[in-house]
Structure 1
Amino acid sequence: MRFLHTSDWHLGRSLHRADLRDAQAQFLDHLVETARAERVDAVLVAGDVYDRAVPPVDAVALFDEALVRLRETAARVILISGNHDSARRLGVNSGLIDAAGVHLRTRPGRLAEPVLVHDDHGPVAVYGVPYLEPAVGLPDATPAPTPARTPAPAPAPDPGTGLSRQRSHEAVLREAAARIRADAAERRVGRTVVMAHAWVAGGRNDEERKEAAQRHRSDSERDISVGGIGYVPASVFDGFSYVALGHLHGQQTLAENIRYSGSPLPYSFSEQDHKKGSWLVEVGIDGKTRAERVPAPAYRTLTVLTGRIDDLLTSGEFTAHEGDFIAVTLTDAARPEGAMDRLRRRFPHILTLEFKPEGRTADAGSYRERVKGRDDLTVAAEFVSHVRTPVTTAERHLLAAAFEAVREGAC
């Protein structure tokens, strides 16, 4: 049985206002061609299809077209909702389109109802666990019908059947995994694939897991931690044939059968060194898996440049980066005038500009500590010195006159 594992498309997202629609369309073209060439049985999309709950119209159109084209390859498509998606919107009409071979799994109460994919050796049960909000927990798997206009009773806080007693990502995912194991045992299905959107970390103990979780985060991921602890130990998923994870944007392997596909594109400069792609996964007769990395097409390289503006504008060292998405940190002692416009002439895709003059160190004190005991004129003069050069005598007189005019106007 062959699966293509992908996630975190974030359709509709931009990069510091740079339009990424063409890049996302290019990736989806690649995904369709891979599914066709490799004759995969199903494409697994592990959440964050969209970048926000109400996606732009063009992102919805791109998603709709991708589903049609993926089905034309004869692969089934199984998707779960992530923390960026609106589960209700993404899952609309899911019951109707199941028959078309597209399976939207966005309802927590149905996470133990698998999609059964068959080959010559029997079924593989694919369970979709959408992003689970710890504050909500898991509802009863089979809630009793409630008479019309009668409020439903509060669910019992039983970890096995009702809402999770503990409000944590680990608690709700442990409960989800237990329900899935129980269903697989009842069906007598030996090969199980679980899709989940969560912050999962490997490691032998809590300290190692915490360190690994922090190491693999990127700036473009929305924080889903609760009380500072949002990661889930990989051991929660012990015993499953394969676990297709989404949420973290770096492609990684937690165990041979537990992997993140990562996002198909870099969505922040913290991801400039990521290797983007998908996983081509084969589940064997005995339930063991092997996975092969499928690199995503490169759209535009992300590059961070640091130096004086004259060097950046003239040195041949930077010629190869003229077509990249660029983040620049200028180290000139004085802030150059019109720096962004000048840099854009050589680097048309420059996205961010920061100033860190050489020889200056940041004041570690709070803003209140830095201005304590200083008058308005001193604070203003130091601000000018910080962003440009020390104020001249004429500028100091001009600032003093401005403050005096404000005071007189307030009287």
Structure 2
Amino acid sequence: MRILHTSDWHIGRTFHGHSTLEALRGVLAELTAQVQQHDVDVVIVAGDVFDSSAPAGDCYVLLTDTLRGLADAGARVIVTSGNHDSAARLGFQAGLLRDGISVVTDPASVGTPITIADEHGPVHFYGIPYLEPALLRHVWPEVRTQEGALTHAMDLVRDDLARRRATESGTRAVAIAHCFAAGVEPTPQLERDIQQGGLDVVPLKAFDGVDYAALGHIHGRQRLAEHIRYAGAPLHYSFGEGDKPRGSWLVELDADGCADITWLALPVPRRVVTLTAPLDELLSDERYEGEREAWVCAEYTDDLPQRDPLRRLQERFPHCAKVVHRPAQIAPADGMTYAQRVRAARSDRELVEAFLVHVREGVGASEAEQELIDDVLAARVRVEAAA
């Protein structure tokens, strides 16, 4: 059996104010073509199908078109909800979907598999929707954390699996979950935090007993163990993801479990790059010529903020979406507050210098600026003397 593990589609997400819907449509069309090309039997979408709990209408259109395309390509499809999804909205039409498409959003279904057989016997797919501990306490009173919720869910999976293995031959199992697992490297400022103080990191031993664990939530591919993996998102949704490949895992099961796992790359509609240099270099240096069509985050390293940097950069890089002033040298903090600097000033010149050091994060006036300040202060003295 061939299984394609994907996750975190985030349909409806914007990239610095720009819609990603059409770019995602093209990538998911390529994923559908890969399903047909590689004779995939089952496609897993491990949570965060939508980017919000109330997606716009065109987001539902894209999801419907993609699920229909995957089914038409010959694959069974199993979708679970993530922390960005509204389980109710994602699952409201689950009972009306065509045969071969399953959407798992109800915690009450945990431990009840979707079973698909191949020539070796049954493969049980245990979908685990995102489990919010606070909403489960009336059902699972002992649950207080994500770790506890996932461990309890997997205990239900193992109990059901043990009963089935006692009477079936060739039984294999795949778990699908949306969580932080121990050992992951999250993308800074991207994946919404579903842990509290590190207590909700799910240990890898929680996934013992299954042949493969298809995880979602982390946007970059990661292999935590040979049979425990994240596929990541199909698009780059932040500049922090720029160095992470996009794609999905092609998992092949034989009679004994995982026989082979291969990475299938997806196309990147527009590269995501971060360029760091003085502003004049970013605007003129030939080595950046190849980045004109990329999404650009420009970090300019001038000592002082520059005038209208975004507009100027967009003249060279039409898709410059973010500008950050990141001085190459930052003066060490002296521990003084602005009020202390003002009180310590013994002249108007020192008062102006105290202000500049405060607003420029430790950088005072340059030599040319000092000359200008002296001229202005001298002119003020002349005006006051003539009054």
What range describes the TM-score normalised by the shorter chain of this pair? 0.7 to 0.9
CA deviation profile, 1:8-61 (whole Å, cap 9, x unmatched): 000111111122122201111011101111121111000000111111222121
One-letter amino acid of the counterpart of residue 347, structure 1: F
RMSD: 2.5
CA distance 1:327–1:114, shift in 2 (3 Å): same
- Structure 1: how far apart are the matches of 2:331 and 2:342? 23
Q: Indicate the SS of the match to 2:262.
A: strand
CA deviation profile, 1:147-199 (whole Å, cap 9, x unmatched): xxxxxxxx4xxxxxx51424111111111111111112223352111100011
Aligned partner (choices 169, 178, 194) of residue 155 of structure 2? 178
- Structure 2: how far apart are the matches of 1:395 and 1:72? 77
One-letter amino acid of the counterpart of residue 9, structure 2: W
How many positions carry a matched residue from both structures? Answer: 361
**Deviates most, 107-116 or 18-27:** 18-27
- Structure 1: how far apart are the matches of 2:143 and 2:177? 19
- 1:197 matched to 2:178? The reply is yes
Matches within 5 A, 1:88-167: 88-97=88-97, 100-137=99-136, 155=138, 162-167=139-144
- Structure 1: how far apart are the matches of 2:328 and 2:226? 46
- 1:169 matched to 2:150? The reply is no
One-letter amino acid of the counterpart of residue 197, structure 1: H
Contact 1:25–1:62, Cα closer than 8 Å, also in 2 = yes
Matches within 5 A, 1:234-245: 234-245=204-215
**Residue 385 of structure 2: aligned partner:** none
Contact 1:136–1:163, Cα closer than 8 Å, also in 2 = no
Contact 2:195–2:201, Cα closer than 8 Å, also in 1 = yes
Aligned partner (choices 307, 310, 318) of residue 280 of structure 2? 310
CA distance 1:364–1:296, shift in 2 (3 Å): farther
One-letter amino acid of the counterpart of residue 175, structure 1: H
CA distance 1:355–1:72, shift in 2 (3 Å): same
The offset of 1:295, in angstroms, is 0.3
The offset of 1:359, in angstroms, is 2.8
Q: Indicate the SS of the match to 2:45.
A: strand
**Residue 407 of structure 1: aligned partner:** none
Contact 1:218–1:249, Cα closer than 8 Å, also in 2 = no
Q: Indicate the SS of the match to 1:280.
A: strand
Contact 1:381–1:396, Cα closer than 8 Å, also in 2 = no
- Structure 2: how far apart are the matches of 1:48 and 1:385? 41
Contact 2:181–2:201, Cα closer than 8 Å, also in 1 = yes
Query: 5+ residue gaps in structure 1?
Result: 139-154, 156-161, 202-211, 401-411
**Residue 346 of structure 2: aligned partner:** none
Greater Rg, structure 1 or structure 2? Answer: 2
**Residue 264 of structure 1: aligned partner:** 234
The offset of 1:240, in angstroms, is 0.4
Q: Indicate the SS of the match to 1:179.
A: helix
- 1:25 matched to 2:25? The reply is yes
One-letter amino acid of the counterpart of residue 293, structure 1: W
Contact 1:8–1:49, Cα closer than 8 Å, also in 2 = yes
- 1:371 matched to 2:338? The reply is yes
Q: Indicate the SS of the match to 2:219.
A: coil
- 1:85 matched to 2:85? The reply is yes
Q: Percent identity?
A: 38
Contact 1:46–1:245, Cα closer than 8 Å, also in 2 = yes
CA distance 1:293–1:124, shift in 2 (3 Å): same
One-letter amino acid of the counterpart of residue 187, structure 1: R
Q: Indicate the SS of the match to 1:126.
A: strand
- Structure 1: how far apart are the matches of 2:376 and 2:199? 50
The offset of 1:363, in angstroms, is 3.9
**Residue 264 of structure 2: aligned partner:** 294
Q: Indicate the SS of the match to 2:134.
A: coil
The offset of 1:334, in angstroms, is 3.0
One-letter amino acid of the counterpart of residue 22, structure 1: E
CA distance 1:238–1:191, shift in 2 (3 Å): same
The offset of 1:233, in angstroms, is 1.1
**Residue 48 of structure 1: aligned partner:** 48
Which consecutive segments of 4 or more residues in structure 1 shift more than 6 A? 376-379, 394-397
**Residue 224 of structure 1: aligned partner:** 194
- Structure 1: how far apart are the matches of 2:109 and 2:150? 14
- Structure 1: how far apart are the matches of 2:247 and 2:13? 18
**Residue 158 of structure 1: aligned partner:** none
One-letter amino acid of the counterpart of residue 113, structure 1: T
Contact 1:330–1:356, Cα closer than 8 Å, also in 2 = yes
Query: 5+ residue gaps in structure 2?
Result: 344-350, 381-387
**Residue 384 of structure 2: aligned partner:** none
Q: Indicate the SS of the match to 1:265.
A: coil
Q: Indicate the SS of the match to 1:288.
A: strand
CA deviation profile, 1:318-347 (whole Å, cap 9, x unmatched): 111111111111112332222211111111
- Structure 1: how far apart are the matches of 2:194 and 2:187? 12
Aligned partner (choices 251, 255, 259) of residue 281 of structure 1? 251
Contact 1:177–1:237, Cα closer than 8 Å, also in 2 = yes
**Residue 206 of structure 1: aligned partner:** none
- Structure 2: how far apart are the matches of 1:381 and 1:360? 14
Matches within 5 A, 1:352-363: 352-361=322-331, 363=333
Contact 1:335–1:389, Cα closer than 8 Å, also in 2 = no
- Structure 2: how far apart are the matches of 1:351 and 1:313? 15
Contact 1:328–1:352, Cα closer than 8 Å, also in 2 = yes
**Residue 307 of structure 2: aligned partner:** 337
**Residue 76 of structure 1: aligned partner:** 76
